[in-house]
């Protein structure tokens, strides 16, 4: 579950002082062999409190800093109402920024929206029949009018919503309805983030720990849609491209988290959280380019 990172961060913080003195240098093992042309070109430390869940590049206003989510970015005014987990965010090309939220229980999920002018609003979606409570990520289509959102676990679909705050049919005072479905031709597991590369292609980070679906754990996935998402259902073709980097001074279970594609630079970034206490020291945001 995405909640693992929050629990591990809280436990690990108690040992931060001792760990800092004993922290080892990162392994120099080479990156996993790529099956496509996305090549690892570098990495940056991912702070476990503020950069451990998701990230997005922001085009408006110009020269905006990249934005991240983690347990430390959730406002008290939001968590106090039960929305205590934030997933992988996204930003539209015209500057709307959206964070997906979930609670530990209930019948709804929430999308927190910041307009280009800075004002925040909240859009609540009541779960449909068979819909999971998890609200792991959002990906705004390049048109801006439609937004994909994902559930955790083994799934054969993504959900499509009118983009809250952007699509004129949405309102903070009304339920945010599901508009349609992306039906996948291959099951995916524990998708933690997706981002559009083109109007009909997404790249997604999967935290799949088993490796039985594609023969590798923690895969980078490509989803090719039959058409742009909108009010009608579309199909999506799934391809596993490569395993995400799994390197740390600690051994154990890694967590693949959020993903972002910056169309201005052609840079793909994916967060991978390290095992155990190394969540504090060598979790990384890996950078890739397509050569």
Q: Could you tell me if 103 and 84 are in contact, meaning their C-beta atoms sit under 8 angstroms apart?
A: yes
SS3 letters across the chain: CCHHHHHHHHHHHCCHHHHHHHCCCCCCCCCCCECCCEEEEEEEECCCCCCCCEEECCCCCCCCCCEEECHHHCCHHHHCCCCCEECECEECCCCCEEEEEECCCCCEEEEEEECCCCCEEEEEEECCCCCCCCCCEEEECCCCCEEEEECCCEEEEEEEEECCCCCCCCCCCCCCCCCEEEEEEEEEECEEEEEEEECCEEEEEECCCCCCCCCCCCEEEEEEECCCCCCCCEEEEEEEEEECCCCCCCCCCCEEEEEEEECCCCEEEEEEECCHHHHCCCCEEEEEEEC
Number of domains observed in the structure of the chain: 1
Given this model, what pLDDT does residue 3 score? Answer: 52
pTM summary value: 0.89
Given this model, what pLDDT does residue 33 score? Answer: 36
Burial class (CB in 10 A: 0-12, 13-18, 19+), 252: exposed
Q: How far from chain centre, in Å, is Cα 28?
A: 26
Given this model, what pLDDT does residue 291 score? Answer: 80
Given this model, what pLDDT does residue 20 score? Answer: 36
Largest CA distance in the chain: 56
Q: Which domain holds residue 148?
A: 3-290
pLDDT along the chain (291 residues), means of 10: 53 40 33 61 98 97 94 98 98 97 98 97 97 98 98 98 98 98 98 98 98 98 98 98 98 98 97 98 97 80
Q: Which CATH number characterizes residue 14's domain?
A: 2.120.10
């Amino acid at each position: 579950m995405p909640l693992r990172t929050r629990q591990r961060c809280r436990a690990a913080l108690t040992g931060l002082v001792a760990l800092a003195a004993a922290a080892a240098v990162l392994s120099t093992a080479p990156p996993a062999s790529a099956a496509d042309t996305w090549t690892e070109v570098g990495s940056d430390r991912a702070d476990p409190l503020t950069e451990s869940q998701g990230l997005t590049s922001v085009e408006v206003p110009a020269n905006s800093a990249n934005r991240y989510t983690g347990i430390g970015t959730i406002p008290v005014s939001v968590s106090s109402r039960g929305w205590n987990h934030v997933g992988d965010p996204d930003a539209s090309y015209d500057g709307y920024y959206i964070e997906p939220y979930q609670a530990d229980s209930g019948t709804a999920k929430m999308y927190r929206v910041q307009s280009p002018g800075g004002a925040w609003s909240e859009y609540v979606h009541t779960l449909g029949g068979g819909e999971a409570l998890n609200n792991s990520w959002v990906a705004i289509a390049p048109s801006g009018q439609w937004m994909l959102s994902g559930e955790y676990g083994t799934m054969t679909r993504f959900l499509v919503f009118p983009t809250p705050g952007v699509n004129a049919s949405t309102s903070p005072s009304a339920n945010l309805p599901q508009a349609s479905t992306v039906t996948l031709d291959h099951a995916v597991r524990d998708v933690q983030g997706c981002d559009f590369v083109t109007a009909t292609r997404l790249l997604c980070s999967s935290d799949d720990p088993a490796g039985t679906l594609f023969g590798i754990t923690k895969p980078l996935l490509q989803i090719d849609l039959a058409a742009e998402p909108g009010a009608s259902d579309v199909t999506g073709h799934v391809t596993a491209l490569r395993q995400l980097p799994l390197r740390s001074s600690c051994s154990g279970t890694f967590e693949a988290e959020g993903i972002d594609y910056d169309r201005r630079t052609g840079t793909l970034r994916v967060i991978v959280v390290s095992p155990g206490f190394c969540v504090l020291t060598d979790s990384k945001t890996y950078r890739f380019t397509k050569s």
